[in-house]
Amino acid sequence: MAERRVTIGWPEGLHARPASVFVRAAAAVGVPVTIAKAGGNPVNAASMLGLLALGAEGGEEVVLASDAPGAEAALDRLAALVQNGLDELPAA
């Protein structure tokens, strides 16, 4: 299983607008991805409710994971989005 540990770059964490950006990006990468707070239970990264339930704050570490083909590239893109607090998924 491929995984990336990243620190959330959005000051407000994964709430409201950043959560919406992340959920759209997770759905767009084309592979199933989970996200979890360090040491916590993973949730579907493309689920707005799951993501909001994490309560992930700015500066906290999260773990992105997937075991699907193409996971490495997808996780790299999502990790860059989260770590840098971007408004859209970086180009492939």
Known catalytic residues are 15
Question: Whose CA is closest to 5, among 72, 57, 79?
Answer: 79
Whole-angstrom distance, CA of residue 48 vs CA of residue 19: 7
Whole-angstrom distance, CA of residue 35 vs CA of residue 5: 10
